[in-house]
Amino acid sequence: MYQRALQGMEKALYPDHTSTLGTVHNLGRLYKSQGKLDEAEKMYQWALQGYEKALGLENVARYQPALNTIWGLGNLFADQGRLDEAKEMYSRAYTGFQAVLGLSSNQCQQLERCIEILPKQVRVITEAQAGVKVTANIALDHNEKKKCPFVVRKLMRKLLR
């Protein structure tokens, strides 16, 4: 359905229209949830580049749908173990949400937690890659679940398969 909607929006509007880009972002989220990470990244990058082209770099930093796309890229990179890129995206989204919504916003608080737990993800990913049996207490601890549910839960599900 997203692909059909995207085709219609591209015809009725144009590929870099913000409404079209919202559908591209949603398609990226769907692909990510299906484990199609390459396709998800293409959609997120398309959406972000489209927002940058349509709005300009200055305005992208204050446009919530674009900030959600940046955040989505951060989550994707974190899931892939590309933690430097994840931190960059999280920080970029954090700066934008801070400017738009303020430091006390839920978005800023969640992004702070995502950035805070990235070093722990490095340890978990490294241990998993080294073939060390990874215990789930890192992510199953109640406080860690609250810190960044999107990243921690998905990472642990992936590692515990």
Return the closest-CA partner of residue 92 out of 67, 55, 118, 56. 67
- Residue 4 has a pLDDT of 77
Contact 147, 139 (CB under 8 A): no
Is the entire prediction scored with pTM above 0.85?
A: no
Model confidence at 143, pLDDT cuts 50, 70, 90, reads: very low
Q: Count the alpha carbons within 13 Å of 46 in the hemisphere toward its beta carbon.
A: 20
List, in order of start, the domains of the chain with CATH numbers. 1-121+139-159 (1.25.40.10)
Residue 136 has pLDDT above 50, yes or no: no
Return the closest-CA partner of residue 66 out of 10, 6, 58, 141. 58
| H or E element that contains 10 | helix 2-12
- Supply the mean pLDDT for the chain: 82
pLDDT tens, 83-135?
999 999 999 999 999 999 999 999 999 999 999 998 777 555 556 656 655 44
38 contact partners, CB below 8 Å, separation of at least 6:
none
- Residue 154 has a pLDDT of 62
- Residue 123 has a pLDDT of 58
- Residue 48 has a pLDDT of 97
Q: For residue 17, how far is the Cα from the chain centroid?
A: 21
Q: Which two tokens stand for residue 106?
A: 């839920």
Model confidence at 60, pLDDT cuts 50, 70, 90, reads: very high
Contact 43, 15 (CB under 8 A): no
More confident residue, 3 or 137: 3
Alpha helices (runs of H) in 13-160, residue ranges in sequence order:
18-33, 37-55, 57-60, 64-79, 83-101, 106-129, 137-140, 142-147, 149-160
- Residue 131 has a pLDDT of 61
Share of the chain above pLDDT 70, in %: 71
pLDDT tens, 67-83?
999 999 999 999 998 99
